[in-house]
Amino acid sequence: MADLLDRLRGPELVAQFQKLCGLSLLSEEKSARQHFAKAVRRAEPDCTARFHAAAWTGHHVNAANNGTVPGTPVVMYIGQASKDVLKWPRPPSPPVVKLEVRVDAEYGMPSTHAMAATAIPFTFLLATMNRYKYPFELGLLLALAICTLVSLSRIYTGMHTVLDVLCGIAITAVLVAFSYPFWDALENFQMRNSFAPILALSLSFLVSIYYPELDHWSTARGDTTNIVSAGGGAALATWINHQWSLLPEPSSAPPYDIPALSAPLICRMSARFAIGIVIVFIARHLIKSVALTLVCRLAGVSPLDREARKLLRVEVPYKYITYSCLGVVGLAVCPAVHRYLAL
């Protein structure tokens, strides 16, 4: 068993899978990149050098401020925190080909992408299988396909070992199975209890502030804050929608028929999607600007100082404000606009 675990944790399986997919390390390319980066650092100012080196490697200067792929907040928090507790490194290069650089400073165990790819489709399947009329087998196949493809993509990009991915899937499966019997009770509490929004927002802030202490800065704490604060905002939006009866009640009991695709329906869906994206994009820009300026002023640092944004007293509060507000915007404001426009 120990030998099997060592093999699953080792980089050799990752490199072998990448070779099957047509990926291999090119020493000449690596040398060229290093030479290019050194030449840029010697010839240009520091900020310009960082920009060009980032362009060469595919890593954007503002990548650390990007949001993450959304998932189940609790599952993602457990996954991110586990990385910084276990401190298992990502597969080394060589022999692995690294296709991403933004999160390379983070630890690897478990794969939060694999956790999200397990949690999202399977919780969606469990939540809808008795609510809508569709073949359960088809839904199961789609969930398995999403989980498999995303998990394999993390090995393909060289970001995780096979063991990282398998543990991510296993942890999520246990959490989903354990929590499933309590979903209805949790939903009822979230919608009807007056303290539910306060509890959701305060817990999401506290777990972000008391995230496991980092031995070096990485995007992990900020990304985790984005996820759990958006979950807190979504919980508040759910409470608002129910308390103020903003969402129409169904006219009949489930299970419901899924409407057939038609040109009018596709146009309506596209309009809702486009309008929602625009609203969220504008809201994110405005809220982030205000939150960053306010938090930096209170912390006594400049909002233009990128290193200052990595401080705990700056990073967590401004990201928490931004993404908790976006949770409300996405789940309460956008639907209200859609209703107003009769979409």
**Phi, psi (rounded to 5 degrees) for 256:** -105, 150
**Catalytic-role residue among 52, 160, 242, 338:** 160
- Residue 272's alpha-carbon distances to 239, 254, 269, 323, in angstroms, are 22, 24, 5, 21
User: What single DSSP character describes residue 106?
Assistant: S
Take residue 76 and report the two structure tokens written for it: 């993602």
- Residue 234's alpha-carbon distances to 15, 237, 240, in angstroms, are 40, 5, 10
**116 CB neighbour count, 10 Å cutoff:** 24
Instruction: Determine the residue type at 109.
Output: M
Take residue 47 and report the two structure tokens written for it: 């900020």
CB of 336 closer than 8 Å to CB of 246: yes
Q: How far apart, in whole angstroms, are the C-alpha atoms of residue 231 and residue 319? A: 13
Overall size of the chain counted in residues: 343
Helix axis angle, 162-179 to 136-156, nearest 10°: 150
- Residue 164's alpha-carbon distances to 11, 73, 170, 281, in angstroms, are 11, 19, 10, 33
**Catalytic-role residue among 52, 59, 60, 113:** 113
Annotated active-site residue 35? The verdict is no
**Among 75, 77, 65, residue whose Cα is nearest residue 208:** 77
CB of 190 closer than 8 Å to CB of 197: no
Active site residues: 113, 160
